[in-house]
Amino acid sequence: MSNAAKPAEGLQTLTPELKAFIAEWKSKPGNLIMVLHRVQQHFGFIPREVAFEVADLLDTPLAKIYGVITFYNFFKLKKPGRHNIQVCMGTACYLKGGEDIIHELEEILGVGLNTVTADGEFSIEAVRCLGCCGLAPVLVVDGEVHGKVQTKDMQGLVQALKAKVTKE
């Protein structure tokens, strides 16, 4: 990859620890999912150039790696905001206003679905069922589940997150 093609955040590469993890898992069944989980845990997403390295180290076609990454909602190809807001769009949440919550968050944050605010602090994504149907509609912010949310709650939620960012 030439310098002109490097991503804005710089060239990402596997660390020696990640390479050792991949070597340990290379011959085990189900290795790809485990490796991708560990890579995403480290980077927060699966950088393109790292996917190429994983393919080489596992002797796995890149198409298979991208097939897994794009099939499972958990895996990300783009770096999410530091505060990732996931809105459930499973049947119960959708019927109880999940889509309206997404629209409200887009309006408040000034970004669309699956995008990141200019400052890199916030991202919004729609996810499939979170398994909290009795609390519909549900969203998850930084791993914390919020149930029975309403559009009128979104301004306060975002303000609390922004206040948290200011303190950090």
Model confidence band, residue 162 (pLDDT cutoffs 50, 70, 90): confident
Q: What is the mean pLDDT of residues 84-110?
A: 96
Q: What is the mean pLDDT of residues 96-120?
A: 95
Distance in angstroms (rounded) separating the CA atoms of residues 108 and 152: 11
Residue 124, phi-psi category: left (phi > 0), alpha (psi -120 to 50), beta (remainder): beta
Q: Does 119 score more than 70 pLDDT?
A: yes
Distance in angstroms (rounded) separating the CA atoms of residues 75 and 71: 8
With CA atoms as reference, report the closest residue to 81 among 106, 115, 112, 54. 115
Fold of 83-167: Glutaredoxin (3.40.30)
- Where are the domains positioned within the chain? 3-71, 83-167
Q: Does 54 score more than 70 pLDDT?
A: yes
pLDDT on residue 10: 62
